[in-house]
Amino acid sequence: MSSQPLVFHPTPSAVKTVKAEKWPVDEIVALLDLPFTELLFRAQQVHREHFNPTEVELATLLSIKTGGCSEDCGYCPQSSKYDTGVEAQKILPLDTVLKAAKEAKAHGANRFCMGAAWREPKDRDMEKVEEMVREVKALGLETCCTLGMLSEDQVEKLKGAGLDYYNHNLDTAPEFYNNIISTREYQDRLDTLERVRNAGIKVCCGGIVGMGESRRQRAGLIAQIANLDPYPESVPVNNLVQVEGTPLHGVEPIDPLEFVRTIAVARITMPKARVRLSAGRREMGEAIQALCFVAGANSIFYGEKLLTTGNPDIDADRALLDKLGMKAKGTAVDAHYEVASS
């Protein structure tokens, strides 16, 4: 068998799919409206132009401070305003976080994300988080935090600690936002993202689908993210996990193929971003996850728990990747592939 690397060559039409100008909502709706096979074909072309299609990034998420949040996000079981059975807890000790990070690395994770249920962190919290970032980074993992809104000073402190990514999702389209949350303005989210970008920290920004929004409103969310300048390096796409006690419990779920369409359009509009399958994978099943990888997803949250909701266990994810012939980013098999330059 030849030891020559497999080279994935983009076709000329793949280059035409990506536009340098801003993405109007109407154009994104037109993409979502394409016949399913045509949409996936276009997304796969774009994906192969920029990434090895057999590679997936593994990111592990740990809740370092759970529950008791003052926000009223309609999807969130950590809000103090809803009775969901999630009890407020203090920030985890450093040793507990480092133990989780070491286990994540041992299981093949590339990135370790730390999430806290705050509207915004206090200064006394920041000192602890900064230490976590420094120590996790020293293990050789990429670091990411999601802590709510940040001031310029707080962003600079995280930058000084060596934070690689900051996650701050836009959640949904501006016109649907007030249906989901009333305690924070859309502009507040954009302001935090701008501070993070200006400090030189990479941006992780996505949203949640399946909250009762229309296809056009999903297009509006993608437009908001894709039109950030530059667009995020990492784009998590969450499928709503309904939790009893939250206002969105009982909403009509999104059609699984519509979710795949959303992934495909995220790939086309943000060709160089890591598009991550985030919350809701356990409910999707293997076939839909496989279609999402075809559509251009190349990152997953890896581990049994995402903050407070369930996730496929590690053995199940390994088995799925084996079935699909896919490997984790950074594994030795990576050396056998190369992406052709355009």
Catalytic residue annotation: 69, 73, 76, 113, 144, 204, 276
Distance CA 167, CA 116 (A): 11
d(CA 237, CA 222): 10
Q: Cβ contacts of residue 295 below 8 Å, gap of 6+?
A: 39, 40, 43, 44, 47, 260, 261, 263, 264, 267
CB 201 within 8 A of CB 155: yes
Q: Which single residue is written with the structure tokens 């070491």? A: 102
Instruction: Give me the count of residues in the chain.
Output: 342
HEC profile of the chain = CCCCCEEECCCHHHHHHCCCCCCCHHHHHHHHCCCHHHHHHHHHHHHHHHCCCCEEEEEEEEEEECCCECCCCCCCCCECCCCCCCCCCCCCCHHHHHHHHHHHHHCCCCEEEEEECCCCCCHHHHHHHHHHHHHHHHCCCEEEEECCCCCHHHHHHHHHHCCCEEECCCECCCCCHHHCCCCCCHHHHHHHHHHHHHCCCEEECCEEECCCCCHHHHHHHHHHHHCCCCCCCEEEEEECCCCCCCCCCCCCCCCHHHHHHHHHHHHHHCCCCEEEECCCHHHHCHHHHHHHHHCCCCEEECCCEECCEECCCHHHHHHHHHHHCCEECCCHHHHHEEECCC
